[in-house]
């Protein structure tokens, strides 16, 4: 009898009945109790510490902030979706701007090389953020495929300030992942980065060199 068979045999022959599920205490991964201001401060501090750039704006004027970022960063070709409100508002606002809007609702094989060689930036919405780690979380769709946040040299992400939660556990709980876990969620904590064997951190080796977060407040931030 193999060791595996012996273990299974002992489990099947238990005399005290089936094992019960132990009580779980998740307090260590939640219940931070941070205020809205503390979440905002922590998120911005952590994502900025790894070269992420946060631009504060309002829900009413965020497209003006977007246009300023595109001009300042000299973006000429911007990849974005169509159906999501973020993409729809951006398309309307940038209609007369000197930037080419690149459609992403195409078969990846038809524009794969274009993504790597001629697209300057990708614009996406976000589902929210995590204060504890300074991370964005995205749930890509056919309208906003994951490659527009992972391939171009710059990723511009639009985040609502009210969608920053304390911990990853809170994201899972508050968004009911247990009943419908995303199959393709992305956690983004800054531009692409890697370290070689000498532990030298290098940015932009295999993804965006820059991450700009347009942080939308309901009204002018104080």
Q: Which CATH architecture has domain 34-195+213-217?
A: 3-Layer(aba) Sandwich (3.40)
Is residue 222 very low, low, confident or very high in pLDDT (cuts 50, 70, 90)? low
Residue 5: is its pLDDT beyond 70? Answer: yes
Dump pLDDT digits (tens) for 66-125. 999 999 999 999 999 999 999 999 999 998 889 999 999 888 788 888 888 899 999 999
Residue 7: is its pLDDT beyond 70? Answer: yes
Is residue 221 very low, low, confident or very high in pLDDT (cuts 50, 70, 90)? low
Q: For position 20, what pLDDT does the model report?
A: 76
Distance CA 23, CA 142 (A): 40
- The alpha carbon of residue 126 and the mean position of all alpha carbons in its chain are separated, in whole angstroms, by 6
User: Is the CA virtual torsion 36, 38, 39, 41 positive or negative?
Assistant: positive
Which carries the bigger pLDDT value, residue 166 or residue 191? 166
On whether the CB atoms of residues 194 and 36 are closer than 8 A, the answer is no
Average pLDDT for the chain: 90
Single pTM value for the model: 0.85
Q: For position 28, what pLDDT does the model report?
A: 85
Dump pLDDT digits (tens) for 168-204. 999 999 999 888 888 889 999 988 877 766 677 777 6
Distance CA 159, CA 151 (A): 20
Distance CA 204, CA 21 (A): 45
CA-based nearest residue to 155, from 84, 78, 88, 61 = 78
Query: Which of 138-147, 161-170, 180-189 comes out lowest in average pLDDT?
Result: 180-189
> Facing residues of 154 across strands?
121, 210
């Amino acid at each position: 009898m193999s060791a595996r068979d012996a273990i299974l045999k002992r489990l099947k022959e238990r005399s005290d009945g089936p094992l019960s599920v132990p009580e779980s205490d998740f307090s260590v991964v939640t219940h931070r109790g941070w205020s809205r201001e503390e979440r905002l401060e922590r998120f911005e501090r952590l994502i900025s510490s790894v070269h992420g750039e946060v631009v504060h704006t309002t829900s009413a004027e965020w497209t003006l902030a977007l246009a300023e970022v595109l001009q300042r960063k000299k973006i000429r070709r911007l990849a974005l979706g169509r159906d999501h409100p973020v993409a729809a508002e951006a398309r309307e606002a940038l209609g007369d701007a000197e930037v080419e809007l690149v459609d992403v609702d195409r078969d990846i094989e038809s524009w794969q090389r274009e993504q790597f060689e001629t697209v300057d930036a990708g614009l996406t919405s976000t589902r929210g953020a995590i204060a504890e780690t300074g991370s964005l979380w995205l749930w890509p769709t056919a309208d906003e495929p994951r490659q527009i946040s992972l391939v171009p040299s710059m990723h511009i992400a639009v985040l609502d300030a009210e969608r920053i939660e304390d911990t990853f556990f809170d994201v899972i709980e508050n968004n009911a992942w247990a009943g419908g876990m995303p199959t393709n969620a992305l956690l983004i904590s800054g531009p692409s980065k890697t370290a070689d064997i000498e532990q030298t951190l290098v940015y932009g080796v295999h993804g965006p060199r820059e991450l700009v977060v347009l942080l939308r407040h309901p009204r002018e931030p104080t």
